[in-house]
């Protein structure tokens, strides 16, 4: 399978078109999809690919702990173990 590289502007246009195809661009879509994608794509060349990969890896543990703290979601031992493995992999 051939890898396709697209420019930053093309990625931004694709995200915005995806957001508009749903009818309205709600605040939840802006905060959850459009703004993070645009800022992450702008930031990757500035901070480098290594650091951006680490930041992307931290997203899952942060989201899980956030759901546990704010939404009172239950987290099992297997999920805690998975988060610990992710964080150890980032540290290494």
pLDDT digits (tens, 9 = 90+) for 5-45: 666 777 777 666 665 665 556 666 666 677 778 888 888 88
The pLDDT of residue 28: 63
User: Does this model's pTM top 0.85?
Assistant: no
> What are the start-end ranges of the H helices in 1-92?
8-20, 27-29, 35-47, 49-71, 77-91
Within 8 A by CB and 6+ apart from 22, the residues are 29
Nearest C-alpha neighbor of 68 from the set 57, 80, 58: 80
Collapse the DSSP code of 89 into the 3-class scheme (helix H, G, I; strand E, B; otherwise coil) and give the result: helix
The pLDDT of residue 41: 81
Report the C-alpha gap between 72 and 87 in whole angstroms. 22
The pLDDT of residue 48: 86
């Amino acid at each position: 399978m051939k890898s396709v590289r697209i420019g930053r502007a093309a990625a931004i246009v694709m995200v915005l078109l995806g957001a508009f195809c749903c009818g309205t661009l709600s605040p939840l879509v802006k905060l959850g999809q459009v703004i993070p994608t645009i800022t992450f794509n702008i930031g990757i060349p500035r901070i480098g690919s290594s650091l951006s990969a680490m930041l992307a890896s931290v997203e899952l543990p942060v989201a899980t702990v956030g759901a546990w703290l704010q939404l009172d979601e239950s987290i099992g031992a297997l999920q805690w173990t998975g988060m610990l493995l992710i964080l150890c992999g980032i540290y290494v």
